Amino acid sequence: MKITRLDESSKKNILNDLLKRSPNNYGEYTKTVEEIVNNVRENGDKALFEYTKKFDGVDLSADSIVVSKKEIEEAYEKVSETGLVDVIRRAKENIAEYHEKQRQYSWFDSKPDGSILGQKVTPLEKAGVYVPGGKAAYPSSVLMNIIPAKVAGVDKIIMATPPGKDGKVNAGTLVAANEAGVDIVYKAGGAQAIAALAFGTESIPKVDKIVGPGNIFVALAKKAVYGFVSIDSIAGPSEILVLADETANPRYVASDMLSQAEHDEMASAILVTTSEELAEKVAEEIKGFTEILSRKDIIQKSLDSYGHILIADNMDDAIDAVNEIASEHLEIVTKNPFDTMTKVRNAGAIFLGEYSSEPLGDYFAGPNHVLPTNGTAKFFSALSVDDFIKKSSIISFSKEALEPMHEDIIKFAESESLTAHANSIKVRFED
């Protein structure tokens, strides 16, 4: 694990390295994805089934693309042997309770002059949730994507996820989706599933918004259909940044950094600390843990490429680096983490104190784990109920309310040479 003194040069180099992980830098796949998206848009089910056969090795039809009640029952039987169903239900309660506090309501403000201004909050009609399959099947992500939509009041929540070679969907994924309140599950994956959700096919209805993680083909497909539908974000590889001082436990810090490094070779794990002693101890702990963890090859490649330990001269410099990197997950393990947190502007999720480890947020605490990556925490937020609603402005004026301001509106319109705008007001006050 590299230990580097934090300065402007090292900070710039790290930021450049991290940006290489952005889906925006994988242009060689763009043409392939666009061809898939356009084919599904033009040929619907025919193209969707052909790609499913090609990429997943499964023959699908309009009769078999929908997950049946029997398949869901079989998934429960399979998962119940592990005790995961009860865990999913407890996690669901925490996630739903947290997101209930995000709900927004319509409001109206009436004034004595007869004017009424307001905002009408309306849930989206149809939301599409994409869930990866295979080794990247994460029931926790299913909960995090469906529950906010359910709390928001979305009329129909549609899930798409690739089938395995046996034509079945991952059992944990199905149980989590059913518990979270999904309305229908389709066996469709990859860029072709995103296109089907965006444009609709004979079997899959067009949705208003697509959310959920996926590989580079899914990410680029979401980018390609944005504008035809809304999307949550273009997700990049996982990342964690730990901000720590001399009071931090090096064993805890090391284990938390590795919790993200194990996701894939492009995941990023960074420690920024004011303590040289802590930096050296964390590096040793990381070395020891990596040797015994099951995904040690992935972890090692991640750390070699995107793992960093930075030693800052003082906490202010450390926090400046934190805000520049704008990590997906930020752990603050300092003497007074709440005070430190007030100086942080940019982070997807902030974990305070040595017992608030990142996996707590991934699975159980309640806040959403779908977070901005690749520095986009500077302007994006975690997935929330807000992502599944839209807001309409409400304006209602009487003639008496309009009269005092009508001349101002006319002048404004005429200053922009929009005489029809001005006339629209004038005609209401003709003699």
DSSP string, 4-29: EE-SHHHHHHHHHHHHTTSGGG-GGG
Task: For residue 318, give the H/E element and its range.
Answer: helix 315-325
Rounded CA-CA distance 418/178 in Å is 54
**Nearest of 316, 317, 362 to residue 339 by alpha carbon:** 316
Given strand 3-5, what is the order of strands in its sheet? 3-5, 307-311, 268-273, 239-244, 329-333, 349-352
List the catalytic residue out of 99, 263, 329, 369: 329
CA–CA separation, 420 and 304 (whole Å): 64
Quick one: DSSP state of residue 268?
E
Are 121 and 152 in contact, with CB atoms under 8 Å apart?
no
Question: CA end-to-end span of the chain, whole Å?
Answer: 82
Q: Out of 179, 239, 285, 328, pick the active-site residue.
A: 328
Q: What is the pLDDT of residue 190?
A: 95
157-167 burial code (b ≥16 CB/10 A, e <16): bbbbbbbeeee
- pLDDT of the residue at 12: 87
Q: What is the DSSP letter of 62?
A: T
pLDDT in tens, 93-135: 999 999 999 999 999 999 999 899 999 999 999 999 999 987 6
Active-site annotation holds for 71:
no
Residue 321 confidence (pLDDT) = 95
CA gap 326, 347 in Å, rounded: 5
Q: Are 327 and 348 in contact (CB under 8 A)?
A: yes
Residue 99 designated active-site: no
Sites in the chain below the pLDDT cut of 50? none
Q: What is the longest distance spanned by two Cα atoms in the chain?
A: 88
Contact by Cβ (8 Å): 171, 141:
no
State pTM to two decimals: 0.92
**Contact yes or no for 130/194 (Cβ under 8 A):** yes
Angle at 140 (CA atoms; ends 68, 349), nearest 5 degrees: 145
Give the model confidence (pLDDT) of 313-351 as tens digits: 999 999 999 999 999 999 999 999 999 999 999 999 999
